[in-house]
Structure 1
Amino acid sequence: MTSTAKALQGLVDRQEIQDALARYARGVDRGDWELVRSAYHPDAHDEHGSFSGGIDGLISWLADRFDGVDNSVHFLGNCLIEPIGPENALVETYFVSARLTTKDPHRTIDAGDALSRQAWGRYVDQFTRRDGAWRIARRTVVIDGRFQCPALGGARMAEGSWGTRDSTDPLHAARSAAGLTC
């Protein structure tokens, strides 16, 4: 492989790794557990706070943990990808997550019982390329800080385009209009 081809392959590898990280974040935020699954190899292991285990257990744990979450955002920040040969990489990605929970099934402004939970930390991932696909083989979630507090005024205002964790989210309409499958 020429030096140019090697450099291009390195850029492609990095983008595929970052795409897998973005699939994880979008999947958790939208409640799309198959999208979360697509970020991991089938035999992956995840150390995620009180959870430790494989991908099926992780998805079950996340689905239960996010039951009752009205709104969720994972912001991915600094991402350092350190190649370890052509098929492996150590990846550290900073994150900030925020979510709103509410007991109000109608998600009204006057609910008064919404709770804001925020956490920040790092995903320390071992990525491997198998069958041409970069995915997480092992993840350790490192929490650097967190807090929760009342979300004054409820979870939502009456106006605006608000995100949801189901097929009514504006993303689905945009993907459909663009000819992308959901």
Structure 2
Amino acid sequence: MTKSLQELSDRLEIQDLLVDYSYAVDRREWDALDGIFTPDAEIDFRATTGSVHGDLATIKAYLGETMAYFSVTQHLVAASKIELDGDVATGRTMCHNPLVLTAGGVMFVGLWYIDRFVRTDAGWRIAHRAQELAYLHNDPRSAAS
């Protein structure tokens, strides 16, 4: 199964995009997300948040507010399944996300990112992202009820 140099390059660029997202969120560098998503990206976090979805500005504002509840986060992405089709691609990527709560304790989230990528003049970008929940452990919202 020989892959072309273009396909290998595309896969590496998309993989870098997934890692760049993780670093941007964990370092709280919200403006770095502008170079990861298309300007008209649709982002759906309802699987883990219950209600948040929208454009990039909406997600950046949400992250800025909610990440204050965590002193440390790590988005550990792995096992990406990328399907290329010319200038578009789809992907399914595992994420294990431990989050240290500022109030004490650690919350764990396991999910998959379901992405649609597009090749732009600036390189590959995420045009659509949704989450599929695998597990939540020690979610403080469940203890509040």
**Shared fold (TM-score greater than 0.5)?**
yes
Distance in 2 between residues matched to 1:38 and 1:73, nearest whole Å: 20
The corresponding residue for 2:64 is 63
Q: CA deviation at 1:132?
A: 4.4
Distance in 2 between residues matched to 1:68 and 1:58, nearest whole Å: 16
Tell me the alpha carbon deviations over residues 8-29 of structure 1, each in whole angstroms, 9 at most, x when there is no partner.
0101101110111111100111
The corresponding residue for 1:168 is none
The corresponding residue for 2:40 is 43
Aligned residues: 135
SS at match of 1:31: coil
SS at match of 1:135: strand
Aligned pairs (5 A) from 1:105-144: 114-144=104-134
Distance in 1 between residues matched to 2:73 and 2:89, nearest whole Å: 28
Larger Rg: 1
Distance in 2 between residues matched to 1:31 and 1:64, nearest whole Å: 11
Q: Is the 8 A contact 1:25 1:36 kept in 2?
A: no
Question: Which residues of structure 1 form unaligned runs of 5+?
Answer: 104-113, 151-182
Q: CA deviation at 1:149?
A: 6.8
Give TM-score scaled by structure 2 length.
0.87
Instruction: Give aligned-pair identity as a percent.
Output: 30
Q: CA deviation at 1:69?
A: 1.4
Tell me the alpha carbon deviations over residues 103-125 of structure 1, each in whole angstroms, 9 at most, x when there is no partner.
4xxxxxxxxxx121110010000
Aligned pairs (5 A) from 1:23-102: 23-49=20-46, 50-84=51-85, 86-102=86-102
SS at match of 1:45: strand
Q: Which runs of structure 1 show a deviation greater than 6 angstroms over 4 or more consecutive aligned residues?
A: none
Aligned pairs (5 A) from 1:149-168: none
Distance in 2 between residues matched to 1:96 and 1:29, nearest whole Å: 13
Bigger fraction of residues in strand: 2
Q: Is the 8 A contact 1:97 1:119 kept in 2?
A: yes
1:101 is matched by which residue type in structure 2?
Answer: L
Q: CA deviation at 1:130?
A: 1.2
Q: Is the 8 A contact 1:23 1:39 kept in 2?
A: yes
1:149–1:59 distance in 2 versus 1, CA, 3 Å: closer
Give TM-score scaled by structure 1 length.
0.70
Distance in 1 between residues matched to 2:52 and 2:134, nearest whole Å: 17
